[in-house]
Amino acid sequence: MGIFSGLEKLGLGGIGKGELFEDPKKKQTTVKKEEAPVKKLSLVNEEDYLFDKKYKCPVCETDFEVKTVRTGKVRMKNVDIDLRPDYDELDQNKYDVIACPDCGYAALGRYFTTLNKYQIDDIRKQISMNYKRMENEGPTYSYDYARSLYQLALANAMVKKAKNSEKAYICLKTAWVIRGETQRLDPSEEGYEKKKEENDAQEKELLKNALDGFVMARQSEEFPIAGMDSSTLDYLVAALAVETDQRDIASKMIGEILISRVANSRIKDKARYLKEMLAEKDDE
């Protein structure tokens, strides 16, 4: 299943057949990621940490509400090496896409209002004219619904010719959502192995796309990129390279961080940890 698999049900099956990123440079990469141990996580009263936030769509000017996580209510218990935050109470990443239910415009929160006239016209013609309304059932977002939101955001990003960094960030956060779902799978349920295998393959594909997009963005965009300074982005590129077993990129970026005069001690410590991970892989 590709990263755009499922857009057909939204009426947008024709989007996503071209190149995701616009940089002409192409390279062959292999995707391999060490499996993390799976543990079942439970969500308790997830709706207690959500509220309905109002937005006005910049494309069709419709007022609508989306589920939003209450600031300060959730506690972060861990951060993965690729900077994915992991929370005790719920998977906050499920709620980071804002989508207009009427016209199909969707984007991550940081990009939702930053549209120009030409982008609005393109979205109206290529998204809104074909979009089939999707509804969320229940007081929280299911993982299937969250994935659909991210696919819709990526389709919109392609149509509006968003920067490579925005598309890469969507790919990264979609991978985070899939990882969160995998963590919450019940190993005792029928079909667990098949579902986990499918999720792992999709996550790897998305991480690879995120890496490619951020590498291209680093070469052509001005900082901050997706809200990150140069040191943070360099670390993220290194982490994604480690996760997708692209040693040359990982070693290069780790080395640059460790000798950098602008990278802080926290980033350098995280880079040293990545270096240790590479060494452990060599010993396997």
pLDDT band at 16 (very low <50, low <70, confident <90, very high): low
The reported pLDDT for the residue numbered 53 is 97
Rounded to 5 degrees, what angle do the CA atoms 73, 77, 80 make? 125
Mean pLDDT, residues 147-163: 98
The DSSP letter of residue 36 is P
The reported pLDDT for the residue numbered 33 is 43
Burial of 31 (C-beta count, 10 Å sphere; 0-12/13-18/19+): middle
Work out the percent of the chain whose per-residue pLDDT is above 70: 87
Looking at per-residue confidence, does 28 or 117 come out higher? 117
Whether residue 237 lies inside any domain: the answer is no
The reported pLDDT for the residue numbered 43 is 44
Which residue(s) pair with 98 in the sheet?
107
Q: Mean pLDDT of all residues in the chain?
A: 90
Whether residue 146 lies inside any domain: the answer is yes
Query: Is 9's pLDDT higher than 80?
Result: no
Quickly count: other Cβ atoms within 10 Å of residue 46's Cβ.
Answer: 19
Whether residue 184 lies inside any domain: the answer is yes
The reported pLDDT for the residue numbered 57 is 98
Q: 193 φ, ψ to 5°?
A: -60, -40
Mean pLDDT, residues 81-85: 97
Whether residue 258 lies inside any domain: the answer is no
Q: Which segment of 1-15, 128-142, 236-250 scores lowest on mean pLDDT? A: 1-15
The reported pLDDT for the residue numbered 30 is 39
Number of folded domains that form the chain: 1
The answer to whether residues 220 and 23 touch, using CB atoms and an 8 Å cutoff, is yes
Query: Is 108's pLDDT higher than 90?
Result: yes
Query: Is 283's pLDDT higher than 80?
Result: no
The reported pLDDT for the residue numbered 17 is 64
pLDDT band at 3 (very low <50, low <70, confident <90, very high): low
The answer to whether residues 58 and 65 touch, using CB atoms and an 8 Å cutoff, is no
Mean pLDDT, residues 172-194: 96
Whether residue 255 lies inside any domain: the answer is no
The reported pLDDT for the residue numbered 24 is 46
The reported pLDDT for the residue numbered 38 is 52
pLDDT band at 212 (very low <50, low <70, confident <90, very high): very high
Mean pLDDT, residues 91-106: 97
Which of 136, 177, 170, 172 has its CA nearest to residue 154?
Answer: 170
Whether residue 51 lies inside any domain: the answer is yes
Query: Is 222's pLDDT higher than 70?
Result: yes
Q: Which segment of 14-28, 121-135, 186-200, 207-221 scores lowest on mean pLDDT? A: 14-28
For residue 58, what are the domain limits? 7-228
Whether residue 116 lies inside any domain: the answer is yes
The reported pLDDT for the residue numbered 44 is 61
The answer to whether residues 178 and 202 touch, using CB atoms and an 8 Å cutoff, is yes
Whether residue 182 lies inside any domain: the answer is yes
- Label residues 103-137 b or e (16+ Cβ within 10 Å = b): bbbbbbeebbeebeeebbebbbebbbeebeeeebe
The reported pLDDT for the residue numbered 4 is 65
